[in-house]
Structure 1
């Protein structure tokens, strides 16, 4: 099971990466929205975890691009901090499957990922 993490915060990115590697996932990481879209195109992930606020390409644009693909349904979980309710609503409108508020519990995130990937 391949998981793509798109997160510009180094500490969050590395923490989430280590958690899911321990859970047995093949993890691909991207440091910003542009890198995230490139890695999405080249790695064919089974699930995507993305921050909403990213340099170059926003997490909302990533959700829109992924969910507009015909014939393939890839779950997307978005991260956001407090005070971004309008962006969270937009992410759901664009097709995001889950929302996790920062700071978040790694255990809760793992449960949500496993539920969406049935792994």
Structure 2
């Protein structure tokens, strides 16, 4: 399987306004935003922050998003390597498709394809 790029991560935020102010001060650009989540960019790299239902433990609920050239091939290779994805590739909200895989330490990897 050939990974095309590491495109972004997702995190929980206890306070979206505070989070946006912090990342804007570092030079991130605000993309799509609503009351439950915000996407922040540096060039093509993105971080999506979702509003948490309570306190956020450092390092929890994050995911690394890995772009692949062929989602079905990536899925088949992951399964052939003995890994157990959380499900088969499914349509993404923004288009394309994705599936999730958890690493040995519990970190989420989201493998996705989008034109």
> In terms of Rg, which structure is larger?
2
User: Which structure shows the bigger proportion of residues in strand conformation?
Assistant: 2
Is the pair's TM-score, using the shorter chain for normalization, greater than 0.5? no
Higher relative CO (Cα under 8 Å, sequence separation at least 6) belongs to: 2
User: Which structure shows the bigger proportion of residues in helix conformation?
Assistant: 1
What TM-score, normalized by structure 1, do the two folds share?
0.29
